[in-house]
Amino acid sequence: MLSERLIQEINKQIKFELDSAHLYMAMAAYCDSEDLPGFANFFKVQAEEERFHASKFYNFLNQMEARVLIYGLNEPNNEYNSVLDAFKQAYAHEKGVTKRIYTLTDIATEEKEHATISLLKWFIDEQVEEESMFSSIIKKLERIGDDSHGLYMLDAELAQRTFTPPAADAAN
């Protein structure tokens, strides 16, 4: 049985994951306004992933017979200086997500809540991938600089991104 503290923190994480999706949709809207549909697609897919993460936590609480609470969303930033600025802000946001996952893991470890630790291991691995992906795109954007041809090539590459839930999670 999960402690009230852990239930409360996981409910906060559900909100945070939904806030993340909201933020990434704002970034997608910015990219669309800059006529960069590939970058917009990247952020739309990222938003879909964040909603999946929220569902994963939601389903876990339900399986553990804990009460899920849904909270209101924060208003996201809608203004960016450039696509690079949006990605730098997204990268900083993902670093914050990682810290939150680590805090949840610390609580679950302290409480010897092994089922939660197992769930959070998946999220820890996911965050390694997320941070690496954002870091890589930022490096590409920095190398591209003011080269519009390079920007449009990366835009075309990011237009191909899709989200497919992991097979083991698709049924949850």
| DSSP per-residue letters across 21-68 | HHHHHHHHHHHHHTT-HHHHHHHHHHHHHHHHHHHHHHHHHHHTT---
Q: Binning pLDDT at 50, 70 and 90, where does residue 169 land? A: low
Spans of all domains in the chain? 4-161
The third-level CATH classification (topology) of the domain covering 4-161 is Ferritin (1.20.1260)
Give residue 1's pLDDT band: very low, low, confident or very high (50, 70, 90).
Answer: confident
pLDDT level of residue 165 (50, 70, 90 thresholds): confident
- Predicted confidence at residue 168, as pLDDT, reads 63
Residue 170 has pLDDT above 60, yes or no: no
Confidence (pLDDT) at 89: 98
Model confidence at 171: pLDDT above 50: no
Token look-up 């409910």 returns: 11
Q: CB-based burial of residue 92 (10 Å sphere; 0-12 exposed, 13-18 middle, 19+ buried)?
A: exposed
Confidence of residue 166 (pLDDT cuts 50, 70, 90): confident
Q: What is the pLDDT of residues 112-144, one digit of tens each?
A: 999 999 999 999 999 999 999 999 999 999 999
pLDDT digits (tens, 9 = 90+) for 74-109: 999 999 999 999 999 999 999 999 999 999 999 999
